[in-house]
Chains A and B, each alone.
Chain A
Amino acid sequence: DAGITQSPRHKVTETGTPVTLRCHQTENHRYMYWYRQDPGHGLRLIHYSYGVKDTDKGEVSDGYSVSRSKTEDFLLTLESATSSQTSVYFCAISELVDTQYFGPGTRLTVL
């Protein structure tokens, strides 16, 4: 997985609780991304980062925030989880023009 880890790999939480997912890379790549993958919707971009403390919104950013205080870490936070945020979350990294490599994913269930 190109030196990318995600934690936790699985999480079950309840509606209204905050959740933070972590993506860690050892490749020193500049760009990092958070996607969610749902049946019938494919991969959709939530947020991305183009450098430390530089982030921007993707296609489905409502209800999510991100932070990147170090090159190697990109955090995704659900401030108050909802059942519609039950999904598989993938982190990806990129250094060259646009080739992205994906982490192993986190399966999140919000009850």
Chain B
Amino acid sequence: QKEVEQNSGPLSVPEGAIASLNCTYSDRGSQSFFWYRQYSGKSPELIMFIYSNGDKEDGRFTAQLNKASQYVSLLIRDSQPSDSATYLCAVNWDNAGNMLTFGGGTRLMVKP
């Protein structure tokens, strides 16, 4: 069974620090990887996606992918209290059907 694993947290970081969120997945054939942010009581919103090994940066966010080790991470620089949310990792195993498998999410708390 294809699985996506995340530490549920909470991960607590002080304001201004770098938050590092990690995700591992079980299938080497995975094609693409997504990070969603979900505030309490709200729907998931897409932050970033990454397809290739290496880093992808978008503003304060950096996604890192290592297919050999089967992990993907999200770094949030200069963390703000408004970044406090649950971060969901999602993996697309193949492009047919556009289906995603989600991890359970990591709750991030940024303390002022």
Of residues 1 through 33 on chain A, the ones whose CB sits less than 8 Å from some CB of chain B are: 1, 31, 33
Q: Evaluate contact between A40 and B104: CB separation under 8 angstroms.
A: yes
A residues less than 8 Å from B34 (CB atoms): 98-100
Flag the segment in A43-51, A64-72, A73-81 that touches B. Answer: A43-51
Q: What separation, in Å, do the CA atoms of A42 and B8 have in the docked complex?
A: 10
In the assembled complex, B44 has its CB within 8 A of some CB on chain A: yes
In the assembled complex, A102 has its CB within 8 A of some CB on chain B: yes
Residue tally, chain B, CB below 8 Å to A: 23
Q: What separation, in Å, do the CA atoms of A104 and B31 have in the docked complex?
A: 27
Task: Mark contacts of A86-111 with chain B using CB atoms, 8 A cut-off: 1 yes-contact digit, 0 otherwise.
Answer: 00001000100111111111000000
Q: What separation, in Å, do the CA atoms of A33 and B43 have in the docked complex?
A: 14
Q: Evaluate contact between B100 and A98: CB separation under 8 angstroms.
A: yes
Min CB distance, B54 to chain A, in Å? 19
Q: Evaluate contact between B99 and A105: CB separation under 8 angstroms.
A: no
Min CB distance, B60 to chain A, in Å? 20
Q: What separation, in Å, do the CA atoms of A97 and B43 have in the docked complex?
A: 21
Min CB distance, A10 to chain B, in Å? 12
Q: Evaluate contact between A97 and B32: CB separation under 8 angstroms.
A: yes
Min CB distance, A1 to chain B, in Å? 7
Choose one: B46, B98, B99, B102; the contact of A42 (CB below 8 Å).
B102
Q: Evaluate contact between A103 and B43: CB separation under 8 angstroms.
A: yes
Q: Evaluate contact between B103 and A104: CB separation under 8 angstroms.
A: no
Q: Which residues of B contact A (CB under 8 A)?
A: 31-32, 34, 36, 42-46, 49, 88, 90, 92, 95, 97-105
